[in-house]
Copies of this chain bind each other. A is one copy, B any other.
Amino acid sequence: MTLDFWFDFASTYSYLAAMRIEEAATVRGVVVRWRPFLLGPIFAAQGWTTSPFNIYEAKGRYMWRDMERLAGEGGHALVRPEPFPQNSLKAARLAISADGETWQPSLCRGIFQAEFAEGRDISDATTLAAVVESLGQDTGTWLGRIQEQGVKDTLRAQTEAAMAAGIFGAPSFTVGTELFWGNDRLDQALAWAAAER
């Protein structure tokens, strides 16, 4: 069975999910479909103009401490990027354009690591180019795709599909119409997918 992995590159808990999803899915024989989308329009529909972690101070303070504990347990570095949240539009378009490429998961993990392990700005094309280059891919070709109308349209459609699936935060996972929200639900979602295989 396939599990759809919905994430926004600006999302802290999506970073944790991205770093472990392929290994956890392989163990269960589940195929992962990486589906970047933008939380911005979804948050805007809830009346938020930035991350709820910025709007609700106590929640934001807690999130960074929680991330610190979880990243530590997982053996991942954690840097708070400036600004937070990052503008993830280009990164999402780049990942969309690599849909179907065997290196798409590596690309996504590389972007998350540049942002949250190294504190680099993912709205800067040079950050994205460095990740593409580290995978042995042609930077000119792939960075060029970010500007293609078809890629822009696909990302917009993917965000609309996320809303239609009832998604309100990231990461989320879907198995058919069954929705799971949060890095904390990854294992339950994978078990669900494996049971439906």
Q: Does residue A184 face the partner (Cβ distance < 8 Å to B)?
A: yes
* Closest chain B residue, CB of each to CB of A45: B58
Q: Chain B residues near A182 (CB, 8 Å)?
A: 184
The 8 A CB mask of A76-92 against B (1 = contact, 0 = none) is 00000000000000000
A180 neighbours in B (Cβ, 8 Å): 66
Contact A58 B168, beta carbon cutoff 8 Å = yes
Q: Can you list, as one digit per residue, whether each of A32-75 has a CB less than 8 Å from chain B (1) or not (0)? A: 00000000000000100000000010110110011001000000
Q: Is B168's CB under 8 angstroms from A62's CB?
A: yes
Interface residue? A167 (CB, 8 A): yes
How far is it, in angstroms, between the C-alpha of A46 and the C-alpha of B65 when the chains are bound?
20
Task: Evaluate whether A181 and B56 lie within 8 angstroms (CB atoms) in the complex, with A69-B188, A188-B69 already known.
Answer: no
Q: How large is the interface on A (under 10, 10 to 19, 20 to 34, 35 or more residues)?
A: 20 to 34
B62:A166 contact, CB within 8 angstroms:
yes
Residues from chain B with a CB closer than 8 A to the CB of A157 are none
Q: How far is the CA of A69 from the CA of B59 in the complex (A)?
A: 25
Chain B: which residue is nearest A55 at the CB level? B46
- Evaluate contact between B184 and A62: CB separation under 8 angstroms: no
CB < 8 Å: which of B46, B62, B188 contacts A181?
A: B62
The residue of chain B having its C-beta at the shortest distance from the C-beta of A169 within the complex is B59
Cβ A167 vs Cβ B58 within 8 A = yes
Confirm or deny: A130 has a beta carbon within 8 angstroms of a beta carbon on chain B.
Answer: no
A residues within 8 Å of B by Cβ?
46, 56, 58-59, 61-62, 65-66, 69, 166-169, 179-182, 184-185, 188
**A66-B181, A69-B188 given; 16 more Cβ-contact pairs under 8 Å:** A46-B56, A56-B168, A58-B166, A58-B167, A58-B168, A59-B168, A61-B166, A62-B166, A62-B168, A62-B179, A62-B181, A65-B179, A66-B180, A66-B185, A182-B184, A184-B184
